[in-house]
Amino acid sequence: MTEKATLNIADKTVEFPVLKGTLGPDVFDIRKLYSDTDTFTFDPGFTSTAACESGLTFIDGDKGILLHRGYPIDQLASKSNYVEVCHLLLRGELPTAAQYEEFERSITMHTMLHQQFDRFFEGFRRDAHPMAIMVGAVGALSAFYHDSLDIHDPVQRNISAIRLIAKMPTIAARAYKYHMGQPFISPRNELNYAENFLRMCFAVPAEDYVVNPVLAKAMDRIFILHADHEQNASTSTVRLAGSSGANPFACIAAGIACLWGPSHGGANEEALNMLKEIGTPDKIPEFIAGVKDKRYKLMGFGHRVYKNYDPRAKVMQESAHEVLAATGRENDPLFQVAKELEKVALNDEYFIERKLFPNVDFYSGITLSAMGFPTTMFTVLFALARTVGWISQWQEMMEDPSQKIGRPRQLYTGPTERDYVPMSKRG
Ligand code: ACO
């Protein structure tokens, strides 16, 4: 017998089916709540609301677990590579050797941008923030690829997904080059996804870039760690934009806009700035006192879902060590500050009580900075990596027969109905 949840409201008793996933809490199916009771639920920030059904990613925030299609993130980060994880997210399974070859090849064959796209970059101010360029440039893809805009055609949906995964590093590298005032570097097919991206960012016409394998591995791992994260703010934005039937390029541009905010993708930039501001370990107590007085937050700490150590943060810390060693920065004072700050916070009652643990952003800023990226690029790299998650979630939504336009309701607290007053009679 199906389990039911009972709600007593005024003189009515209504029952709602209880739905069970393969993992995670049960959910009450309240789709008939309004028609049956004339009431809504109130859940700003969606802290208790499942907005969709999904088979992509599972998070247990209390235990610090993150699974993509069932595979733990630490296994993927240490044994897989980003392109394979893209296949897993987009197609549902780890690829066979033949599937991997075909998938990687299709991504490699779509990395170039239309020549006219270069002119598009030139429209931006020379010192434009690369995220501003990303929002505009990715949205503009829909003006270039008319042959893959029919969202009802699965073949076109797949081509759009491949185009987005393939072209995002090229666009991100160009946003960086434009921001730096350097000429664009074209993709090279003999390099893998991470190597190609690093070269497009750091090669200059006067000197080619020899990819350091430690940095390429760390880049690939950073991409894996950011590939998808359930129904976070930017993913929900992509789904909401897509629910109206908007094309995938426009939806991903909406996701990038949402990711830009400091509470989401902008946090690693803020975390690094915070470490720089603290400067040396002896300033930590004073900084922590300011956090407790609520004058500012400890950036890179805390998470809406994780109330335990973010499993991505553990792997990220490992990569930070490797990259700092490979770039001769083992004694980087910022890294010393980060490690000491983490130790202090994890043993402080204020943070323990509130279940505040390091999130993935705590160590990613130091790592990216050691790799040579300016802070303005951090969120861009996040957007690049998250594109596969966004587009996989969008595809899943498009294939879901119960999909409807997203249309939340509200608790109205404005004025009740009143008559218009002519200007001469106001005030
Ligand atoms: N530093 C200090 N105190 C914090 C922090 C923090 N980083 N995060 C939460 N708190 C405190 C809040 O002040 C609040 O305290 P109170 O109960 O005394 O009022 C309590 O912990 C609960 O916090 P909420 O704001 O309710 O938690 P919420 O789930 O809304 O916030 C968020 C999550 C936005 C991530 C928050 O922890 C934060 O701002 N962290 C810093 C920014 C950051 O690192 N973001 C990256 C997120 S991960 C990602 O996007 C990849």
pLDDT of residue 184: 95
pLDDT of residue 104: 98
Q: Average pLDDT of 256-267? A: 88
pLDDT at residue 169 above 90?
Answer: yes
Give the Å distance between the CA of 14 and the centre of ligand 1.
Answer: 36
Q: Average pLDDT of 247-255? A: 98
pLDDT of residue 332: 84
Q: Average pLDDT of 335-356? A: 92
pLDDT of residue 96: 98
pLDDT at residue 252 above 90?
Answer: yes
* Residue 249: Cβ-neighbour burial (10 angstroms; 0-12, 13-18, 19+): buried
Q: Average pLDDT of 182-198? A: 96
pLDDT of residue 137: 95
**Single pTM value for the model:** 0.92
Q: Which residue has the higher pLDDT, 263 or 341?
A: 341
- Residues in the ligand 1 pocket, defined by CB under 6 Å: 263-264, 267, 291, 297-304, 354, 356, 359-361
Give the Å distance between the CA of 90 and the centre of ligand 1.
Answer: 31
The most confident of the ranges 4-13, 219-228, 356-365 is: 219-228
Q: Which residues participate in catalysis according to the annotation? A: 303, 361
pLDDT at residue 178 above 80?
Answer: yes
pLDDT of residue 304: 84
Q: Average pLDDT of 303-329? A: 90
Give the Å distance between the CA of 263 and the centre of ligand 1.
Answer: 8
Mean pLDDT of the chain: 94
Q: Average pLDDT of 309-328? A: 91
Q: Which ligand 1 atom is the nearest neighbour of the CA of 305?
A: 29
Give the Å distance between the CA of 8 and the centre of ligand 1.
Answer: 34
pLDDT of residue 331: 84
pLDDT of residue 361: 86
pLDDT at residue 348 above 90?
Answer: yes
Nearest CA to ligand 1 atom 24: 304
Q: Average pLDDT of 86-108? A: 98
pLDDT of residue 197: 98
Burial code of 54-72, b = ≥16 C-beta within 10 A, e = fewer? Answer: bebbbbbbeebbbbbbeee
**How much of the chain exceeds pLDDT 70, in percent?**
100
pLDDT at residue 1 above 70?
Answer: no
Nearest CA to ligand 1 atom 11: 354
What is the best residue among 274, 356, 360 to mutate for testing ligand 1's pocket, by most ligand atoms within 8 Å of CB? 356
pLDDT of residue 309: 84
Q: By the 8 A CB rule, do 330 and 324 touch?
A: yes
pLDDT of residue 263: 81
What region, left, alpha or beta, does residue 412 occupy, with left being phi > 0 and alpha being psi -120 to 50 degrees? beta
pLDDT grade for 262, boundaries at 50, 70 and 90: confident
Q: Average pLDDT of 179-192? A: 94
pLDDT of residue 277: 93
